[in-house]
């Protein structure tokens, strides 16, 4: 199955904020409930230790990504304070508010829009991208990796989406999942209920963008090809797929660790 560079509606500037937030809030809540990235947490933990950093800059955070469950477990395993900056081109500071209440000194939303192609010079730390690498064209993803290399920063990309028939089939279940998960989304919004249950545009948007996400996801061989174009970086690159213990499609990962 060839990769298709299609567009996701929620990525577009003309997408209404209430619909975009409805989808990203659903994704964040679903990840908090299922913790789908748990299998790669030891890999990120090891990468952070090898880089000797105590700060993560998460790019394309959406509604907070997997951090509601991921951060407390990572923090506990590291056994020292870990600063987490959530950034996005369309920042949603209200998302993940519970996590910020738990760790007010350590978890923060970057207040201004951040394009992953042009991350801020400060703060510096370990870059992460969860369920967002597929948003970028190959030359754009190469640029993101090159910027991390130029700064001597570690970087990790983890993808829950998968370009395969089983993943496409699972995407068809997304509207039902939106209906089931929405009551658990926080903070509570009347507009969310309207666009989910009365005029179900959020479930339809999540379905469309979910299918597109699968069709433009990268496989490990394609990621290796992008890394090869960076030339000799002396970075240690880990690229592959991690089988999920939750019966889902494999998690694709790319981890770049700078030389000591």
CATH of the domain at 179: 3.40.50.150
Q: Is residue 187 part of a domain?
A: yes
- Predicted confidence (pLDDT) at residue 195 exceeds the cutoff of 70: yes
Q: Is residue 3 part of a domain?
A: no
Helix H or strand E encompassing 201: helix 201-215
Number of folded domains in the chain?
A: 1
Q: Is residue 155 part of a domain?
A: yes
- Predicted confidence (pLDDT) at residue 225 exceeds the cutoff of 70: yes
Helix H or strand E encompassing 251: strand 251-257
Higher-pLDDT residue of 65 and 175 is 175
* CA–CA distance, 252 with 125 (Å, rounded to integer): 22
Q: Which domain holds residue 136?
A: 9-257
Q: Is residue 87 part of a domain?
A: yes
Minimal CA–CA distance to 35: which of 65, 56, 10, 79? 65
CB crowding 92-110: b at 16 or more within 10 Å, else e: beebbeebbeebeebbbbb
pTM of the model: 0.93
Half-sphere exposure of 72 (CA within 13 A, CB side): 12
256 pLDDT band, cuts 50/70/90, is very high
Q: Is residue 233 part of a domain?
A: yes
Per the omega criterion (within 30 degrees of 0), is the bond before 152 cis? no
Q: Is residue 2 part of a domain?
A: no
Q: What is the pLDDT of residues 38-97, one digit of tens each?
A: 999 999 999 999 999 999 999 999 888 899 889 999 988 888 889 999 999 988 777 767
Q: Is residue 4 part of a domain?
A: no
Average pLDDT over all residues of the chain: 92
Higher-pLDDT residue of 244 and 61 is 61
The pLDDT of residue 246 is 63
Q: What is the pLDDT of residues 90-131, one digit of tens each?
A: 887 777 677 888 888 899 888 889 999 998 887 889 999 999
The pLDDT of residue 94 is 74
Q: Is residue 129 part of a domain?
A: yes
């Amino acid at each position: 199955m060839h990769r298709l560079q299609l567009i996701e509606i929620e990525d577009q500037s003309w997408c209404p904020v209430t619909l975009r937030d409805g989808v990203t809030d659903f994704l964040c809540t679903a990840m908090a409930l299922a913790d789908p990235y748990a299998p790669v947490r030891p890999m990120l933990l090891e990468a952070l230790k090898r880089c000797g950093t105590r700060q993560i800059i998460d790019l394309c955070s959406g509604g907070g990504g997997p951090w509601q469950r991921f951060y407390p477990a990572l923090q506990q395993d590291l056994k020292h304070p870990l600063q987490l900056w959530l950034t996005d081109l369309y920042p949603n500071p209200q998302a993940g508010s519970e996590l910020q209440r738990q760790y007010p000194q350590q978890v923060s939303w970057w207040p201004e829009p951040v394009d992953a192609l042009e991350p801020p010079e400060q703060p510096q730390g370990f870059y992460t991208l969860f369920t967002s690498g597929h948003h970028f064209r190959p030359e754009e993803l190469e640029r993101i990796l090159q910027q991390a290399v130029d700064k001597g920063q570690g970087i990790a990309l983890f993808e829950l989406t998968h370009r395969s028939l089983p993943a496409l089939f699972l995407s068809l279940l997304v509207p039902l999942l939106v209906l089931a998960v929405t009551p658990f989304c926080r903070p509570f919004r009347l507009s969310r209920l309207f666009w989910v249950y009365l005029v179900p545009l959020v479930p339809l948007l999540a379905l469309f963008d979910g299918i597109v996400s699968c069709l433009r996801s990268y496989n490990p061989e394609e990621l290796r090809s992008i890394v090869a174009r960076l030339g000799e970086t002396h970075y240690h690159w880990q690229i592959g797929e991690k089988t999920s213990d939750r019966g889902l499609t494999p998690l694709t990962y790319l981890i770049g660790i700078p030389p000591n």
